Amino acid sequence: MGKPTGFKEFERLLPKKEAVASRKKTYNEFVHAYSDDELNDQAARCMNCGIPFCHSGCPLGNVIPEFNDAVYDGKWEEAYRILVSTNNFPEFTGRICPAPCESACVLGINRSPVAIEEIEKHIIEIAFKREFVKARPTHLKTGKRVAVVGSGPAGLAVAAQLIKVGHEVTVYERDDKPGGLLRYGIPDFKLEKWVIDRRIKVMEEEGVIFRCNAEVGKNVPTSELQAYDAVVLAGGSTIPRNLNIPGRELKGVYFAMEFLKQQNKRVGNSPFTEENVWATDKHVLVIGGGDTGSDCVGTSNRHGAKSVTQFELMPQPSKNRTEAMPWPTYPMLLKTTTSHEEGCNRFWSISTKAFIGDDNGNLKSARVVDLEWERDHLGRPVKFAEVSGSEREIPCELALLAMGFLHPQHDGLLQQLGVELDERGNVRALEGAYQTSADKVFVAGDMRRGQSLVVWAISEGRECARKVDEYLMGYSELESKDAVF
Ligand code: FAD
């Protein structure tokens, strides 16, 4: 271990952020870098805890104490090698992961946890600067061809793994550029898009072929997939949950992705044909308390909204860990994101009953009501009732529905392949098998597990790649996270 007494000597410190007033003027990332000394001190906080639960807290099984020690000792190349032995894209997770590893950090029991996510980001950025990260094309050629449909983190992880072992990999993407929600969901102020471009360049140099503006099942016939030895579906979970209340049809009520995607396209100078949706000078209502909702808050503030209000149907979870924690807990609802720091009125236990329009069909307000939740003996919220007399109207000219995603798009590719779906409408595959009901067709990421996290998409992509490799070759030397534990 780096420094046995580090966890006693140093407090958790996160890098400074750009002041709210200035960062709201741009869509750029605004978290500064640690100084060398700060980074060294933060790595030194990782203690010799015997059983490092951070390993299993991380869906990728990242071997965190080892890379912290290497950072503390200034062994950058070693830190980089340890990090990428389990994670293909630390530059993504180091920026936007909710860091379940930090929730699992043993130091976090009575002190603040080690700043693992920031350390991860610094390792990979230093690795790019020092050119440890470079294309390593393999001379091995298996002669097997794999098609990956979808270029989000799951599809990218599949491709990055399979190209290493000598398969020919083609990634189909219906958008104009690769990246999935990394590019056209998550705003630039959380993840600037040069970070994706930089990674795609490395993958292309290793031989991955990207075919953009190519929607399989629409402008690319599904029959084209027959030419491949294996196919991986990584199309994400894209059908948003709707709010079917009176006034839903009014002008001014949109799904969150209708708003976020076009803003990312504006920033990235990518053309779009949809009607412009602006929050400028409007009272904005964001319905839904997760990551998508908070991205709508940050984007609305950058547009120059008059006010931003965010509603969540569920109750605010208790911050007191000694109280019965509701399960499933809703960690996102506890979290104050950087977007909330920028200005937002936040309410829990509230339901929107109707949208109200003016004579021209434009949204002017929403009718809402407070909820009272009944809890079971474990403190879990199980049933709600409206609080009588709490119904009221709040002004809003733009309402953004950020209430999650139901399942992947069924028409087109999935129907044409005839893959079996599970009871939630996701593509069915046994966990750990990743193989669908269709011959030689595999699935990974949100399309299989439902809406989730980038770190899970990468984890699924890696595990799925190993299964594809075994299917094609009869064995695989690709790493599996099972080997870490
Ligand atoms: P996606 O990223 O959805 O990628 C699927 C890709 O497949 C898309 O590019 C799509 O165009 C393409 N595709 C679909 N069908 C076809 C077809 N037939 N032919 C060709 N291409 C096709 N997670 C975090 O960990 N941290 C965050 O901060 C965070 N913020 C988020 C913010 C928003 C607004 C949203 C919506 C999600 C956020 N998430 C976050 C969740 C995370 O982005 C997803 O869990 C993750 O991107 C899923 O990866 P994926 O590869 O499975 O799918």
Q: What pLDDT, on the 0 to 100 scale, is given for residue 328?
A: 39
Q: What pLDDT, on the 0 to 100 scale, is given for residue 330?
A: 46
Q: What pLDDT, on the 0 to 100 scale, is given for residue 54?
A: 94
Q: What pLDDT, on the 0 to 100 scale, is given for residue 335?
A: 64
Ligand 1 closest atom vs CA 179? 9
417 lines ligand 1 (CB under 6 A): no
The rounded Å distance from CA 152 to ligand 1 centre is 5
30 lines ligand 1 (CB under 6 A): no
Q: Which two tokens stand for residue 371?
A: 């909820």
The rounded Å distance from CA 373 to ligand 1 centre is 32
The rounded Å distance from CA 4 to ligand 1 centre is 41
Q: What pLDDT, on the 0 to 100 scale, is given for residue 320?
A: 57
Ligand 1 atom 28, closest CA:
96
* Distance between CA atoms of residues 83 and 79, nearest Å: 6
Which residues in the chain show pLDDT less than 70?
A: 318-336, 431, 482-485
pTM of the predicted structure, to 2 decimals: 0.96
Instruction: List pLDDT tens digits, range 51-84.
Output: 899 989 999 999 999 999 999 999 999 999 999 9
185 lines ligand 1 (CB under 6 A): yes
ipTM over 0.95: yes
Instruction: List pLDDT tens digits, range 252-310.
Output: 999 999 999 999 999 999 999 999 999 999 999 999 988 999 999 999 999 999 999 99
Q: What pLDDT, on the 0 to 100 scale, is given for residue 326?
A: 43
Pocket residue to mutate for ligand 1, from 186, 211, 239, most atoms within 8 A of Cβ: 186
The rounded Å distance from CA 236 to ligand 1 centre is 5
117 lines ligand 1 (CB under 6 A): no
Ligand 1 closest atom vs CA 412? 18
Of 60, 76, 100, 145, the residue nearest 484 (C-alpha):
60
220 lines ligand 1 (CB under 6 A): no
